[in-house]
A and B are shown apart, each in its own frame.
Chain A
Amino acid sequence: MPFNSYPFFFGFLPVVAVGWWRLSGTARAKWWLLGANVAFLVCWDYRYVPQLAAVIVVTWLVARAMLRGSGSVRWWCVTGLAVLAANLAVLKWLSVPPAHSTSVSAEDVRVGIMPLGISFVTFNLASLLIDISRRLVTRDVSLHDCFSFATCFPYVMAGPLVRWNQVRPELHGAVPVRPDQVFRGLFLISIGLGKKVLLADPIGMRLDHLMTFGDAGFVGSWLAMTAFAAQIYFDFSGYSDMAVGVGALLGFELPQNFSSPYRATNPADFWRRWHMSLSCWVRDYVYLSLGLGRSRTRAIFNTFVAMLLIGLWHGAAWTFLLWGFYHACLLSIYHVSQTITSTRTVRIPQLVARFGMFAAVTIGWALFRADSLLTSGRLIAGMTGLYGPGGLRLVLNHAGRAMPVLVALALAITQLLPEPYEVGVTSAPWVAVTLGTLFAISLMSIGGTNPFLYLQF
């Protein structure tokens, strides 16, 4: 039951939200949420539940042992993390994603090619164990809490990644839902669904046609990868907006995942804006854990470890690893150049820096989108003009004349409009009518099954 489906909007969400509002503040609320989480997972595929439950129970046993001081906390933490890492590695390496990144459908996830949101569940549980070892979590963790934390339906599919202390009160239903959270929730859900079905899906459909066409020249390769840049941003940020919005309807304050990433002016800025919950997770639990010191070499080493982990987190493929490596190189070059130029005044106009960063990120998407190193090599060769300029007419014949218009519109939105989190939502009737209209148009435009790209991770 993905977020962009009729059963979710016409059945699951209204029932769960109304039940939650009614029970909020009572002891039964947490059981209602647990039931909703289980129902959500069972609706996806009940065969996935026992395996997930086993991982959660093991993590809970380790967390309890750590909290009760049974033996070395460090030893338990390492053991728990090893179990989680082994589980993730086995699932990722034994079930290599098919074809290319957009080819994994909800059906593929459901039939067991990849359990739902396994990377997100693993990282959430890992953060719980590390927080306990750092004494950031000191109160006892019940099995119920652990299960709700790991499987909470607003974020179980594809994040955002959360920390135990961020959501624990809400998991109990102890915090009543505020009216402004309802406004904000509906706003984010409407905007998120609109991003997905009105922009990401139409662009993705045309991009698939263009990619099928094969070797395109300079124009075609750049158009394809620019389109993918727009598709993946609107797809994933649309999902994230909906996840945060669904959470807000239930009183959760989930972290935002994006902050206008294509307005970044340098690689470090980009990673402060793109998939923020993952980059913060890696920064807090990996990068800083490796120790900084004053050595520039050490910082570069940490950067490579962190970025390769982010690459591998997306899947067991050389293309993802190379994508992480590429971004590690960008970050390292940037940091070294900052050190060198810190004594001199080198000013790059912001627009130029923004454009350059977008181009660098778009080249990186060629590694991310391709199904093999060979394909990504061809794409990058096309982008450098090795296969000639290519013809715009030929490209338009395959991608459709609407493709450049859609991509231009999408990119203009990324540059000119704020993220929905930055917009203050009032309870004025015209806001409700406008949002209702956008939501209705988006609902009517849900066609077939276009799964969110990040479901495969």
Chain B
Amino acid sequence: VRTENVPSGSRRFLTIFVATVAGWLAVVAVVNFVVNPYGNYRTSYFTPYSWNVRQAKATHLRETAVPNALILGSSRSFALSPEYIHQHTGLLAYNASVPSGRMIDHLAILRLTLSRPTAERLKVVLLGLDLGSFWPDIITPMELRATPSLFRYAGSEPARFSFSLVDDLRLIAFSQFEDSIRTLGQARTGQPPNLSVDPDGVVHFAQREQELRAGSYDLDAAVAEEMPYLEESYARKWQLSETHTARFMQIVELCHSYGIRLVVSLMPDHPRAIERLRSLGWEENRDRLLALLKQEQARGPWFDLFDFSSIDRFGGTSDAFINATHVTAPNAEKMLAPMLQTMSDAVQ
């Protein structure tokens, strides 16, 4: 601000005001950058409060043996157990699903795995989709762009100005500052982080698991908590994104060209969520997505398709959920059971 442009008499006030705002923003930005609570920046002085799941899984996939079965998907696929697959098929499995995972994440992870010299070990890819997987709400998650080791496998993706601006300004977010303070507190007390990733890709949320074990976890509240977001999303009547569809087909073709069996499954919603979303077009969304998948199935390279969008499709139970959209182990195992034969066939 050039001072001659400011109404005379208010320059000093305006200067102090702007300097105070800039000072606070700079302090918060520097703390967030140095502490790096989500592991998004290049600094690594402290263990992140919440791990960057993409970073952790990219490191595993780059540095450990290539699995025979790779699980891709969003956090809805977290409960699909590599250990269960190994016990029933003998396949070495890895759960590479990531929070808010989008098609570009799945494509990048698959490409990273196939870039390994021993990529031929990969025989099966299990891709968990949901009714929102093809919605155009998030084309490229910012967490992916904050993970260069994975993002470079995502292919060319022109960054939208508004997105990058918002991402850069996350550095001044008060919520991140709170997590920076928590991270510092964690460093002082030496407590383990709330979120951690096992060598087979299984993600643990310490607090939630503790509540589940203690029987104090409130499933009703968790379902209710997620509903506003789901209702708002369904109310928008999003069309299926061509970008996501194109990337999905890239995954299909990539699997085909490497001789990998692709198994696609629709992950379930909680019955109460379905009931509430029915008037907002839940069934139409499911039918539209299934129609798209079947159309691509008929047109291009074959992939197996399992519709587990509601619990009655696989004999699941309504209490084996974490919230409106995420299942726990009992439901996940019931979903995996019919897919095991397909996986075994792939190895044969």
Which residues in A have some Cβ–Cβ distance to B below 8 Å? 6-7, 10, 14, 18, 21-22, 98-99, 103, 105, 107-108, 176-179, 181-183, 186, 208-209, 212-213, 397-398, 427, 429, 431-433, 435-437, 439-441, 443-445, 447
Instruction: Please determine whether B228 and A208 come into contact, CB atoms closer than 8 angstroms.
Output: yes
Instruction: Please determine whether B17 and A7 come into contact, CB atoms closer than 8 angstroms.
Output: no
Indicate which residue in B12, B24, B173, B225 contacts A437 across the interface (CB closer than 8 Å).
B24
B residues 1-39 touching A (CB-CB < 8 Å) = 1-2, 5-10, 12-14, 16-21, 23-25, 28
Task: Give CA–CA (A108, B236) in the complex, Å.
Answer: 8
Indicate which residue in B14, B23, B235 contacts A182 across the interface (CB closer than 8 Å).
B14
The dominant DSSP class at the A interface is: helix
Instruction: Please determine whether B20 and A436 come into contact, CB atoms closer than 8 angstroms.
Output: yes
B25's nearest neighbour on chain A, judged by CB, is: A440
B6's nearest neighbour on chain A, judged by CB, is: A21
- A427 → B minimal CB distance (Å): 5
Instruction: Please determine whether A182 and B10 come into contact, CB atoms closer than 8 angstroms.
Output: yes
Task: Give CA–CA (A18, B166) in the complex, Å.
Answer: 24
B232 close to A (CB within 8 Å): yes
A111's nearest neighbour on chain B, judged by CB, is: B236
Instruction: Please determine whether B10 and A179 come into contact, CB atoms closer than 8 angstroms.
Output: yes
> Interface size (B, Cβ < 8 Å)?
40
- List 18 A–B pairs whose Cβ atoms lie within 8 Å, in order of A's numbering: A18-B5, A98-B235, A99-B235, A179-B8, A181-B7, A186-B14, A209-B224, A209-B225, A209-B228, A397-B218, A397-B221, A432-B13, A432-B14, A435-B17, A436-B19, A436-B20, A436-B23, A441-B174
Task: Give CA–CA (A99, B234) in the complex, Å.
Answer: 11
With A14-B1, A186-B17 in contact, do A444 and B173 touch (Cβ < 8 Å)? yes
B residues 190-235 touching A (CB-CB < 8 Å) = 218, 221, 224-225, 227-228, 231-232, 235
Chain B positions within 8 Å of A427 at CB level: 9-10, 12-13
Task: Give CA–CA (A10, B177) in the complex, Å.
Answer: 20
User: Which 6 residue pairs are nearest across A and B when measured between Cβ atoms?
Assistant: A436-B20, A179-B9, A440-B24, A432-B16, A444-B174, A179-B10
Instruction: Please determine whether B221 and A177 come into contact, CB atoms closer than 8 angstroms.
Output: no
- Number of A-B residue pairs, CB cutoff 8 Å, is 111
Which residues in B have some Cβ–Cβ distance to A below 8 Å? 1-2, 5-10, 12-14, 16-21, 23-25, 28, 162, 165-166, 169, 172-175, 177, 218, 221, 224-225, 227-228, 231-232, 235-236
Instruction: Please determine whether A447 and B173 come into contact, CB atoms closer than 8 angstroms.
Output: yes
A210's nearest neighbour on chain B, judged by CB, is: B224
Indicate which residue in B5, B16, B166 contacts A433 across the interface (CB closer than 8 Å).
B16
Chain B positions within 8 Å of A447 at CB level: 173, 175
Instruction: Please determine whether B7 and A213 come into contact, CB atoms closer than 8 angstroms.
Output: no
- A393 → B minimal CB distance (Å): 11
A11's nearest neighbour on chain B, judged by CB, is: B165
Task: Give CA–CA (A209, B218) in the complex, Å.
Answer: 14
B26's nearest neighbour on chain A, judged by CB, is: A440
Instruction: Please determine whether A182 and B19 come into contact, CB atoms closer than 8 angstroms.
Output: no
Chain B positions within 8 Å of A441 at CB level: 24, 174
Instruction: Please determine whether B5 and A22 come into contact, CB atoms closer than 8 angstroms.
Output: yes
B232's nearest neighbour on chain A, judged by CB, is: A103
Task: Give CA–CA (A217, B232) in the complex, Å.
Answer: 25
Task: Give CA–CA (A443, B23) in the complex, Å.
Answer: 13
Indicate which residue in B7, B16, B19, B21 contacts A179 across the interface (CB closer than 8 Å).
B7
A427's nearest neighbour on chain B, judged by CB, is: B13
With A7-B165, A98-B235, A427-B12 in contact, do A21 and B174 touch (Cβ < 8 Å)? no
Instruction: Please determine whether B21 and A439 come into contact, CB atoms closer than 8 angstroms.
Output: yes
With A212-B224, A441-B24 in contact, do A183 and B10 touch (Cβ < 8 Å)? yes
Task: Give CA–CA (A74, B21) in the complex, Å.
Answer: 53
Indicate which residue in B13, B165, B228, B235 contacts A6 across the interface (CB closer than 8 Å).
B165
Task: Give CA–CA (A182, B18) in the complex, Å.
Answer: 13
Chain A positions within 8 Å of B1 at CB level: 14, 18
Chain B positions within 8 Å of A439 at CB level: 17, 21
Chain A positions within 8 Å of B18 at CB level: 436
Instruction: Please determine whether A105 and B17 come into contact, CB atoms closer than 8 angstroms.
Output: no
Instruction: Please determine whether B235 and A445 come into contact, CB atoms closer than 8 angstroms.
Output: no
- B291 → A minimal CB distance (Å): 24
Instruction: Please determine whether A182 and B21 come into contact, CB atoms closer than 8 angstroms.
Output: no
Chain A positions within 8 Å of B231 at CB level: 99, 103, 212
- A14 → B minimal CB distance (Å): 7
Chain A positions within 8 Å of B235 at CB level: 98-99, 103
Task: Give CA–CA (A21, B2) in the complex, Å.
Answer: 11
Instruction: Please determine whether A444 and B221 come into contact, CB atoms closer than 8 angstroms.
Output: no
With A107-B236, A432-B16, A436-B19 in contact, do A18 and B2 touch (Cβ < 8 Å)? yes
- A318 → B minimal CB distance (Å): 18
Instruction: Please determine whether B232 and A105 come into contact, CB atoms closer than 8 angstroms.
Output: yes
Task: Give CA–CA (A99, B235) in the complex, Å.
Answer: 8
Indicate which residue in A6, A22, A436 contacts B169 across the interface (CB closer than 8 Å).
A6
With A397-B218, A432-B17 in contact, do A444 and B177 touch (Cβ < 8 Å)? yes
Task: Give CA–CA (A432, B15) in the complex, Å.
Answer: 9
Chain B positions within 8 Å of A445 at CB level: 174-175
Instruction: Please determine whether A443 and B172 come into contact, CB atoms closer than 8 angstroms.
Output: yes
Task: Give CA–CA (A444, B12) in the complex, Å.
Answer: 24
- A246 → B minimal CB distance (Å): 15
- B231 → A minimal CB distance (Å): 7
A10's nearest neighbour on chain B, judged by CB, is: B169
Instruction: Please determine whether B225 and A443 come into contact, CB atoms closer than 8 angstroms.
Output: no
Instruction: Please determine whether B232 and A21 come into contact, CB atoms closer than 8 angstroms.
Output: no
B9's nearest neighbour on chain A, judged by CB, is: A179
With A179-B8, A213-B224 in contact, do A440 and B232 touch (Cβ < 8 Å)? no
Chain A positions within 8 Å of B169 at CB level: 6, 10
- B180 → A minimal CB distance (Å): 12
Chain B positions within 8 Å of A22 at CB level: 5
Chain B positions within 8 Å of A432 at CB level: 13-14, 16-17, 20
